[in-house]
Amino acid sequence: MSADAAARAAELRAQIARHDYRYYVLDDPEVPDAEYDRLMLELRELERAHPQLISPDSPTQRVAGAPSTAFGEVVHQVPMLSLDNAFREDDVAAFDRRIHERLGLSGELDYVAEPKLDGLAVTVIYHAGRLERAATRGDGVTGEDVTANVRTIRAVPQRLTAGAPPVLEVRGEVFMDLKGFERMNAQARARDERVYVNPRNAAAGSLRQLDPRITATRPLRAFFYGVGVVEGMALPDSQHALLARLRELGLPVTPETRTVRGVAGCLEYYRALGERRSRLPYQIDGVVYKLDGRADQERLGFLSRSPRWAIAHKFPAEEALTVVRAVEFQVGRTGALTPVASLEPVFVGGVTVTNVTLHNIDEVRRKDVRVGDTVTVRRAGDVIPQVVGVLAERRAPGAEPVELPARCPVCGSAVLRLEGEAAARCTGGFSCRAQRQEALRHFASRRALDIEGLGDKVIAQLIEQDMVRSPADLFRLSAAQLTELERLGEKSAANLVAAIARGKRTTLPRLLYALGIRDVGEATALALARHFGTLERLLQADVAAIQQVPDVGPVVAAHVAAFFASPDHRAVLEDLQRQGVSWPDMPAPAAERPLAGRTFVLTGTLQSLTREAAAEALTARGAKIAGSVSKKTSYLVAGADAGSKLARAQALGIPVLDEAALLKLLGAE
């Protein structure tokens, strides 16, 4: 073995350890992942060529352990404590009061506030700065030996930086961040393997793998917040100084810790972190407050298994268990059937949840949700609640899988699911009350015709009582008719009629959006309006022409063409216009109006298109068409047998285009 190889291996290990530190401790990586991978590869190759260079703490050995059949036991020399919980602000005030009383102190005390990570507590022992042993919390006295697995976690240094004491046991939390969790589950799903219901379970499951090679593939992270056995190092005299020391030693510590003053400071931190909770890259379930002074901590001591000087202030749970009462299918605007689980009301994420969408029948099957099942419901931040998974062991015998109905639950029309589509649809179209109702709701919505005061309850009654069958019927409603509706007084009815009348003046993009054509959202509606400029031109366009619109692909073009090909839809459009719904034509953007400012006169017989079609093609490009030749004429288009107009143009020196030149001008159409 050359001395060079040994030196290079040491250098590579130092670089890799430094990058791990930058990435996991400072959260400030210095090099891209590919560079890190390159260093690892070089070290691996060097060790393969010189096996005597391999040391147990080499980063390549993070995954070297062979699968074991069971975890050994580790007795914690210093018990791993748990925390007392506070659920309300009063509980925090009582905690602070108890501390004052026991210590006989007055005045505000300093606390260190930290996020309470939703992971798995671990303890890691370093001897002379080298990772020696790692264990789970277990029952607080005896845990499982997970050394081989913890070695695979890049965030946990194999070696501490210089100045590490002879023995240092550090305690913290192993967790999985949300991105890593989603990625891991997506990969598992693609391979038809088990998916984890949440990052906590994923972290626990990953850390307790018998084969560390599997743990090594899992995106685990760690933050440390305390110590167990410490030899040869004076403990810093405060929690905040301890955290700083751990960080100096190369251990990852959450950047979210703050020193705060008194109960008010604690609660302010709690509220601020609660605000940001759903935007954090990992899940937390509360905040931990620790009295900052270590001497005071020691005087307070412990009460059974938890320290008197710390408390966990929990956030409202984002997950809760409840029971599925029924699974119903709701019919949407485009006929899509959405399975919705009706639940025993459950308080989760700060609100009571009674209904949760299951999105589509594939999702129901994938999660295997059945009526009567106990399910985990999650509501994080403003995200809509979702069923995370089913507790299979609590399923009642005989619970049947949910089936897609063959007929629409509202109108009884056949339900169809097209190849490659996630949604099954009612084929009833406007004959289905649910589709009419949703279509009307969409038509009147803020981004469509923006009819103020036409809320869901009014719409439901209008449809229920058959007062409105098509959107155009809206404009026929009188205030007298509207007062017949429940909870609509004369004034509200008059206001609503006025709002409906105001909705008549709209724009082409809004109208196209309001029609509720499948896959036509606001952006597509705008693109269609810009491209065609007028409804008439869009009505004449075929699929190929519609596909010319920027960002409109064959599927959307087919939906648009099919929509306007329907005689029912054309009748609705005519009716809308008869009722006075109007919009200005859209000016085409300059780039699409190359002939803007030019005046054309057409004469004679054209072979490949009619004069009308030629005129339309020219106006679509911004040109004006005039009936007679004058000095203002830019071009005369002369077909066969052109007569006096040709002679006049020639006399005035106006350029004359024959049919071939015209076609060239139009882009060789």
Binding residues for ligand 5U1, rule: CB under 6 A, are 81-83, 114, 116, 121, 225-226, 288, 290, 307, 310
Q: Kindly tell me which of 227 and 525 has the beta carbon lying closer to ligand 5U1.
A: 227
Q: Shortest gap between Cβ of 145 and ligand 5U1 (angstroms)?
A: 20
Distance CA 480, CA 496 (A): 11
Distance CA 111, CA 311 (A): 11
Q: Which two tokens stand for residue 206?
A: 């990953």
Q: Kindly tell me which of 268 and 575 has the beta carbon lying closer to ligand 5U1.
A: 268
Distance CA 230, CA 295 (A): 16
Q: Kindly tell me which of 117 and 358 has the beta carbon lying closer to ligand 5U1.
A: 117
Q: Kindly tell me which of 142 and 534 has the beta carbon lying closer to ligand 5U1.
A: 142
Distance CA 493, CA 515 (A): 24
- 568-577 long-range contacts, Cβ below 8 Å, gap at least 24? 568/429, 568/430, 569/515, 570/539, 572/470, 572/471, 572/472, 573/515, 573/535, 573/539, 575/470, 575/472, 576/471, 576/472, 576/475, 576/511
Q: Is the dihedral of CA 56, 60, 61, 64 positive or negative?
A: negative
CA angle at 260 for the pair 258 and 261, rounded to the nearest 5°: 170
Q: Which two tokens stand for residue 602?
A: 């057409």
Q: Please provide the DSSP assignment of 396-407 as one string.
A: PTTPPBP---SB
Distance CA 530, CA 540 (A): 15
Residue type present at position 438: E
Contact 583, 510 (CB under 8 A): yes
Name residue 337's beta-bridge partners. Answer: 331
Backbone angles phi, psi at 142, to 5 degrees: -125, 130
Q: Is the dihedral of CA 293, 296, 300, 302 positive or negative?
A: positive
Q: Kindly tell me which of 202 and 310 has the beta carbon lying closer to ligand 5U1.
A: 310
Q: Kindly tell me which of 121 and 260 has the beta carbon lying closer to ligand 5U1.
A: 121
Q: Kindly tell me which of 29 and 79 has the beta carbon lying closer to ligand 5U1.
A: 79
Q: Shortest gap between Cβ of 196 and ligand 5U1 (angstroms)?
A: 22
CA–CA distances in Å: residue 245 to residues 163, 241, 663: 10, 6, 80
Q: Shortest gap between Cβ of 500 and ligand 5U1 (angstroms)?
A: 57
Q: Shortest gap between Cβ of 173 and ligand 5U1 (angstroms)?
A: 6
Q: Kindly tell me which of 83 and 528 has the beta carbon lying closer to ligand 5U1.
A: 83
Q: Kindly tell me which of 114 and 373 has the beta carbon lying closer to ligand 5U1.
A: 114
Q: Is the dihedral of CA 141, 146, 152, 157 positive or negative?
A: positive
Q: Shortest gap between Cβ of 459 and ligand 5U1 (angstroms)?
A: 50
- Could you give the residue numbers annotated as active site? 116
Q: Which H or E run contains 568?
A: helix 567-578
How many residues in total does the chain contain?
A: 669
Q: Kindly tell me which of 284 and 527 has the beta carbon lying closer to ligand 5U1.
A: 284
Buried b or exposed e, range 166-195, using 16+ CB within 10 angstroms:
ebbbbbbbbbbbbebbeebbeeeeeeeeeb
Distance CA 552, CA 400 (A): 42
Residue type present at position 504: K
Q: Shortest gap between Cβ of 449 and ligand 5U1 (angstroms)?
A: 53
Q: Shortest gap between Cβ of 82 and ligand 5U1 (angstroms)?
A: 5
Q: Which two tokens stand for residue 462?
A: 């209008």
Contact 404, 331 (CB under 8 A): no
Q: Shortest gap between Cβ of 114 and ligand 5U1 (angstroms)?
A: 4
Q: Kindly tell me which of 253 and 646 has the beta carbon lying closer to ligand 5U1.
A: 253
Backbone angles phi, psi at 345, to 5 degrees: -50, 135
Q: Shortest gap between Cβ of 241 and ligand 5U1 (angstroms)?
A: 15
Q: Shortest gap between Cβ of 111 and ligand 5U1 (angstroms)?
A: 12
Q: Shortest gap between Cβ of 312 and ligand 5U1 (angstroms)?
A: 7
Helices 567-578 and 554-565: crossing angle, nearest 10°?
70
Q: How many CA atoms lie within 13 A of 224 on its CB side?
A: 27
